């Protein structure tokens, strides 16, 4: 197997990890938040933060590195609109992800405090959760568009 195929396989695998982890995190956090069960919210919030550090962040780094490697290997340049747009959309997703991580850490801490105090999840948590959800919409849309651009490579 040549280095190009290895690089491409790593790039595709990291894309699957990035999208799959993001979708899994979003689903389990959203559904658990709606339950109102403070203990469940605390546990899932802790695991969401952990999953982002263990899977999402490394996948982002691998995506960027292998993307640059593939671009150089294949002789592509940023003058190709599909590639330039892919990078812009990847960065947009990343710009949404950074505040999402902060929100997840904050929600985890609020859930811990609420559970310790024997209180319900407050409106502050719900405000963070709404913002978290709406930041996910452009991020996931951007990633899906990047997938399309990578496959179609439109002129």
The reported pTM is 0.91
Task: Please say whether the beta carbons of 129 and 36 come within 8 A.
Answer: no
Cβ neighbours of 134 (radius 10 Å): 11
Tens digit of each residue's pLDDT (9 = 90 or more) over 35-45: 999 999 999 99
Radius of gyration of the chain (CA): 18
Tell me the two tokens of residue 116: 């310790």
Q: What is the mean pLDDT of residues 34-63?
A: 97
Region of residue 92 (left: phi > 0; alpha: psi -120 to 50; beta: else): alpha
Tens digit of each residue's pLDDT (9 = 90 or more) over 78-99: 899 999 999 999 999 999 999 9
Residue 36 parent element (H or E)? none
């Amino acid at each position: 197997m040549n280095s190009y195929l290895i690089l491409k396989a790593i790039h595709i695998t990291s894309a699957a990890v990035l999208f799959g982890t993001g979708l899994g995190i979003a689903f389990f956090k959203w559904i658990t938040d709606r339950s109102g069960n403070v203990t469940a919210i605390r546990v899932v919030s802790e695991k969401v933060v952990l999953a982002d550090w263990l899977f999402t962040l490394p996948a982002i780094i691998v995506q960027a590195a292998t993307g640059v490697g593939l671009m150089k290997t294949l002789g592509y340049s940023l003058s190709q609109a599909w590639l330039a747009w892919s990078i812009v959309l990847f960065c947009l997703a990343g710009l949404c992800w950074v505040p999402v991580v902060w929100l997840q850490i904050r929600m985890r801490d609020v859930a811990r405090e609420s559970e310790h105090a024997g209180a319900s999840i407050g409106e502050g948590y719900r405000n963070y959760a709404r913002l978290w959800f709406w930041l996910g919409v452009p991020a996931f849309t951007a990633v899906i568009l990047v997938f399309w651009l990578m496959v179609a490579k439109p002129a």
